[in-house]
Amino acid sequence: MKVLVTGGTSGLGHAMASALAAAGARVVLTGRSAEQAAEAAAALPGAIGIGLDVRDERSVARAVGEAWSRLDGIDMLVNNAGIGMRTVNPRFMTEPQAFWEVSPDGFRAVVDTNLTGYFLMARETVPRMLAAGGGRIVNIAVSASTMHRAGFVPYGPSRAGSESLSRIMAADLLGSGVTVNLLLPGGPIATGMLPPDTAPGNRTFLDPAVMGPPIVWLASEAAAGVHDERIVAVDFEQWLHDRGGDR
């Protein structure tokens, strides 16, 4: 399995890239900093790091082309790159900001990364997958409560948009050989998206490694043909059991 993981230098992206590489997949991970991407990839068996700004069409085209060439194809795209509320309000957990107080530039930055970025990556990758006869896309999502929580503009709308985008992508690609699925942790994750005084030591936060088992399964032969599903990582084992599948 040849996999491209965006936003793979830290947090959920790095956890998924690590799990995939450990399972034997050939992985390209990306980050805005080519140097950081290379450093993160160097710690994983056989992984490759590439600089990528998912907001920029030229950067997306270059990175997808490079990944496709170096892997000799891309079997699965994991759309994960994103930025959080800290970029518009560093104290969003303790001092929520009303939507009318959010700067237009801050709103656009989050939406461009979390929503437009998913679109641009899929738009560049899917035609190649269709020409190759198939492929898989996994879009990383968040809990529904994030989409209507007070003080969560623009992060909530950006994630609601990416979830809607995923469902429409799945409808457009139905029967094409390219599958689209959503994967979300199922709770808050201790990552750099949170203020530094909220995550450490808080036992209610999930370890990013929770994303490992479901992403490895989604890359496996057992997941061939699985399409338009919304998989919650913390409930993955039960979900798999309920559908009669094996881990």
Catalytic residue among 152, 155, 217, 236: 155
Q: What does the pLDDT read at residue 114?
A: 97
Q: What does the pLDDT read at residue 194?
A: 54
- Give residue 89's pLDDT band: very low, low, confident or very high (50, 70, 90): confident
Q: Are 205 and 187 in contact (CB under 8 A)?
A: yes
Is residue 99 scored above 80 in pLDDT? Answer: yes
Region 153-171: mean pLDDT is 96
Comparison of pLDDT for 49 and 192, the residue scoring more: 49
Q: What does the pLDDT read at residue 13?
A: 98
Q: What does the pLDDT read at residue 93?
A: 84
Is residue 197 scored above 70 in pLDDT? Answer: no
Q: What does the pLDDT read at residue 190?
A: 67
CA distance 161 to 169: 12
Region 56-62: mean pLDDT is 98
CA distance 117 to 128: 18
Is residue 58 scored above 70 in pLDDT? Answer: yes
Q: Is 155 a catalytic residue?
A: yes
DSSP secondary structure string, the chain? -EEEETTTTSHHHHHHHHHHHHTT-EEEEEESSHHHHHHHHHTSTT-EEEE--TT-HHHHHHHHHHHHHHHTS-SEEEE-----GGGT-TTTTTS---GGGS-HHHHHHHHIIIIIHHHHHHHHHHHHHHHHT-EEEEEE---GGGGS-TT-TTHHHHHHHHHHHHHHHHHHHTTSSEEEEEEE-SS-B-STTS-TTTSTT-TTSBPGGGGHHHHHHHTSGGGTT--S-EEEGGGHHHHHHHTT---
Which two tokens mark 104? 């237009």
Q: What does the pLDDT read at residue 72?
A: 97
Is residue 224 scored above 60 in pLDDT? Answer: yes
Q: What does the pLDDT read at residue 246?
A: 58
Which two tokens mark 29? 């991970």
Paired strand residues for 137: 77, 180
Nearest to 51 by CA among 81, 15, 72: 81
**With 0-12 CB in 10 A as exposed, 13-18 as middle and 19+ as buried, what is 117?**
buried
- Give residue 204's pLDDT band: very low, low, confident or very high (50, 70, 90): confident
Question: Would you kindly state where each structural domain of the chain is located, as residue ranges?
Answer: 2-242
Is residue 193 scored above 60 in pLDDT? Answer: no
Is residue 247 scored above 80 in pLDDT? Answer: no
Q: What does the pLDDT read at residue 170?
A: 98
Q: What does the pLDDT read at residue 245?
A: 63
Q: What does the pLDDT read at residue 244?
A: 82
CATH of segment(s) 2-242: 3.40.50.720
Region 109-121: mean pLDDT is 97
Is residue 202 scored above 60 in pLDDT? Answer: no
Region 210-225: mean pLDDT is 97
Q: What does the pLDDT read at residue 88?
A: 85
Edge-to-edge order in the sheet of strand 135-140 = 48-51, 26-31, 2-5, 76-79, 135-140, 178-184, 230-232
Q: What does the pLDDT read at residue 199?
A: 47
CA distance 71 to 84: 30
The average confidence (pLDDT) of the chain is 93
